[in-house]
């Protein structure tokens, strides 16, 4: 983690100089006072300035950003990310001409990356936050596609009068299907199988149900 040492007449002056160099706000700083200032003999002979070491205070968001940046460097990707921290979650959106490689087949690479980042971020902090990673709005587009698929397959199951099993999906995508159909009284959904091959089954309800 980046840190700087500064000296000044007072601790506060040294801290503010370090904060300016780091480009952060004071509340984001981790401060260690290495030496208190001393006036010396007659107020100036042998006087010593204050010396401090200031580093950027690690937060779940900063930890997530650092981990993702290391992934991007390792993959030699030219991308940018924007982060926003809510009460319970950290929203990260990645953009750039090469960002698509992070999505993978049906979002599998993106889901795996998000899972690993969450494991690491929540390991060392008492305050747990869920990290949600998106690539240029992919997740909202995928959600819309899944909602349309759910409605289409529900009608098909109802028309044929038999259950239809969808392809294996992540728990997040299965939740979208369940939610899209949960208000209907003519069909019902359930999941079957073991991860990572767990899938949703859409079944028509019998007239007596």
Cα–Cα distance measured from residue 110 to residue 183, given in angstroms and rounded to the nearest whole number = 29
What residue numbers bound the domain in which 50 lies? 3-56
Q: Is 150 part of any domain? A: yes
Q: Which of 20, 41, 56 is the last residue of a domain?
A: 56
Segment 43-55 mean pLDDT: 75
Q: Does residue 156 sit in the same domain as residue 128?
A: no
Query: Nearest 5°: phi and psi at 173?
Result: -75, -35
pLDDT one-digit tens code per residue, 117-135: 998 888 777 778 899 999 9
Residue 46 has pLDDT above 60, yes or no: no
Q: Is 28 part of any domain? A: yes
Q: Is 35 part of any domain? A: yes
Q: Which of 111, 136, 161 is the last residue of a domain?
A: 136
Q: Does residue 52 sit in the same domain as residue 64?
A: no
Cα–Cα distance measured from residue 194 to residue 187, given in angstroms and rounded to the nearest whole number = 23
CA-based torsion, 151, 153, 154, 156: positive or negative? positive
Q: Does residue 97 sit in the same domain as residue 71?
A: yes
Cα–Cα distance measured from residue 185 to residue 187, given in angstroms and rounded to the nearest whole number = 6
Alpha helices in 76-187 (DSSP H): 108-121, 138-160, 171-181
Using only C-alpha atoms, the chain has a radius of gyration, in whole angstroms, of 27
pLDDT one-digit tens code per residue, 67-121: 999 999 999 999 999 998 888 899 999 999 889 999 988 888 999 999 999 988 8
Residue carrying structure tokens 């019902």: 188
Q: Is 209 part of any domain? A: no
The total domain count for the chain is 3
The domain spanning residue 130 has which CATH number?
3.30.300.20
Contacts of 161 (CB under 8 A, 6+ apart): 204
Q: Which of 84, 107, 136 is the last residue of a domain?
A: 136
Sheet holding 187-192, edge to edge: 164-165, 199-204, 187-192
pLDDT one-digit tens code per residue, 160-197: 999 999 999 888 899 999 999 998 899 999 999 998 88
């Amino acid at each position: 983690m980046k840190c700087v040492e500064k000296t000044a007449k007072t601790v506060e002056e040294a801290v503010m100089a370090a904060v300016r160099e780091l480009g952060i706000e004071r509340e984001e700083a981790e401060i260690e006072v290495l030496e208190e200032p001393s006036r010396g003999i007659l107020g100036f002979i042998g006087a010593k300035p204050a010396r401090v070491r200031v580093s950027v205070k690690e937060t779940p968001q900063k930890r997530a950003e650092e981990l993702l940046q290391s992934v991007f460097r390792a993959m030699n990707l030219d991308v940018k990310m924007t982060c926003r921290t809510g009460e319970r979650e950290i929203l990260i959106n990645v953009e750039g001409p090469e960002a698509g490689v992070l999505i993978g087949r049906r979002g599998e690479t993106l889901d795996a990356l998000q899972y690993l980042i969450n494991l690491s971020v929540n390991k060392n902090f008492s305050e747990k936050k869920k990290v949600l990673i998106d690539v240029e709005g992919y997740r909202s587009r995928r959600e819309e596609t899944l909602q349309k698929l759910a409605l289409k397959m529900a009608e098909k199951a109802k028309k044929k009068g038999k259950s239809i099993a969808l392809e294996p999906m992540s728990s997040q995508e299965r939740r979208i299907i369940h939610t899209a159909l949960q208000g209907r009284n003519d069909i019902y959904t359930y999941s079957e199988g073991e991860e990572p091959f767990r899938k949703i089954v859409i079944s028509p309800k019998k007239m007596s149900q």
